[in-house]
Chains A and B, each alone.
Chain A
């Protein structure tokens, strides 16, 4: 086992940690964007506008049912043909956000449907407009219910950033592969190292979900 730690020279560790930074960067930006867009789409689905909601719902279902890896490849290789030249980091952010928005839209719709209908009527009786009711009364309650599923969605987002190694985004998994390209004996140590890092990151997130869960119950 003496060779186990040889993989983790200062340079390699620094390089891997830089990759972790990119993993977290992509994740955080994508989470914020997909929360915004996912909420908008979720509200549209919930409101059941004639034609419009089922139209959006169909598009949403298509995105939701494609492999994320395909969306990542598509965004990076096919979009530039339309003149969208995104650097690899932003290309990944776009792919992740589109996919996660579609997933979150379903969660938001479900959360809204779980809110008591009486709340709408009460708020409107008090003179709030539809939009105000949604933003001030209904959405905050719905979010409370949605926090655990949203966090588990975030966990899959963090894990899924590893797929971007396929388009050479220098995130944690890609950098791990580069480190064991130097010396094949590094492969098991590096895989174990990456396992531990991802686990700590995501388990931390799941503890946050649990804490919310117990506080709300």
Chain B
């Protein structure tokens, strides 16, 4: 190509590329503000004929991957299935549940991005979170506690309030923020998921894991030289979460949860998952009435 021709091409192509970038930027910011606007989850779910639940894949008792089937199993999963079926009955539409593994850090983002329709993933109801997502009524009574090695001599959170102690938490959990209030002197290290945190505790990377007691009991079943101590630091029940301002979907879910609690299905699931857990009085988890 002669120089002049090349120069012309260079200039034109630069202008086109610059235009594409600028227009792309405007289009993107327009899309962001449009996506910020309301999109009704219940309508979308009914149209798709399925509810895509964000669930845990690394948390014993609630959501743990079964390597044989390649699907997660646990209390959250079973409850999500039951709720989906119940909402299907209420709305008269056939609904099937699908499951996407999420991490504690990613669940809210994926919900806001509508990658998933709902979250049933050991998610504590908190006022801060309620500003960005909608919660159903509580479906599980949980509270923050500690998992330590049995001969560690640690009996309460006060034993951890020392700069030589490290508490392991998981990124994006409420425990990660709360532990600083209870043991302000301790170092806090956040890991990606509960499996990593348990590995790290066993490797001596910290003296305790702090998160919800039910999750800790799950970890303790597989690791008998560890136990749950320190009672309940905070009470923080789990709720199913949806994008912000999804009143119809929340209403359907609360109705479904109430029905499942009334017809005994809820208690059946509690018994299925928690009756075999040592150190846990599963009868306290049952609902009566």
* A81 and B9 form a contact (CB under 8 A): no
B161: min CB distance to chain A, Å: 27
Q: How many Å from the CB of B162 to the closest CB on chain A?
A: 26
Q: Would you call B156 an interface residue if the criterion is a C-beta within 8 Å of the partner chain's C-beta atoms?
A: no
Which of B1, B106, B115, B196 contacts A177, CB < 8 Å? B196
Q: Which of A74-118 contact B (CB under 8 A)?
A: 76-77, 80-83, 85
Tell me the bound Cα distance from A52 to B10 in angstroms: 5
Q: Mark B76-118, 1 if CB is under 8 A from A, else 0.
A: 0000000000000000000000000111001001101111000
B13–A49 contact, CB under 8 A?
yes
Q: Pick the contact of A82 from B31, B193, B194 — CB < 8 Å? A: B31
Interface size (A, Cβ < 8 Å)? 35
The answer to whether the Cβ of B192 comes within 8 Å of any Cβ in the partner chain is yes
Q: How far does the Cβ of B102 sit from chain A's closest Cβ, in whole Å?
A: 7
Q: Check A187 against B199 for contact (C-beta < 8 Å).
A: yes
**Complex contact A85–B11 (CB within 8 A):** no
In the complex, A125→B223 CA distance in Å? 77
Contact flag A50-B7 (CB < 8 Å), given A77-B109, A178-B58, A178-B67: yes
- Please give the number of chain B residues whose Cβ is less than 8 angstroms from any Cβ of chain A in the complex: 42
- CB-based A-B contact count at 8 angstroms: 97
Residues of B within 8 A of A11 (CB): 67-68
- Scoring A residues 40 to 71 as 1 if CB is less than 8 Å from chain B, else 0, what string do you get? 00000001011111011000000000000000
* Sampled A-B contacts (28; CB under 8 Å): A11-B68, A14-B67, A15-B67, A15-B68, A49-B13, A50-B6, A50-B7, A50-B10, A51-B11, A52-B11, A52-B17, A55-B14, A55-B18, A77-B109, A80-B113, A81-B32, A82-B32, A83-B34, A170-B70, A170-B101, A178-B57, A180-B199, A181-B194, A182-B64, A183-B222, A184-B198, A184-B199, A187-B199
Known: A77-B106, A80-B113; 13 extra A-B contacts, CB below 8 A, are A14-B68, A49-B9, A51-B10, A51-B14, A52-B17, A53-B10, A56-B17, A82-B28, A82-B32, A83-B34, A85-B114, A178-B58, A184-B223
Nearest 8 pairs of A and B residues by beta carbon: A49-B10, A80-B113, A181-B195, A15-B67, A50-B10, A11-B68, A52-B10, A51-B14
Chain A positions within 8 Å of B, measured between CB atoms, are 11-12, 14-15, 18, 47, 49-53, 55-56, 76-77, 80-83, 85, 130, 166-168, 170, 175, 177-184, 187
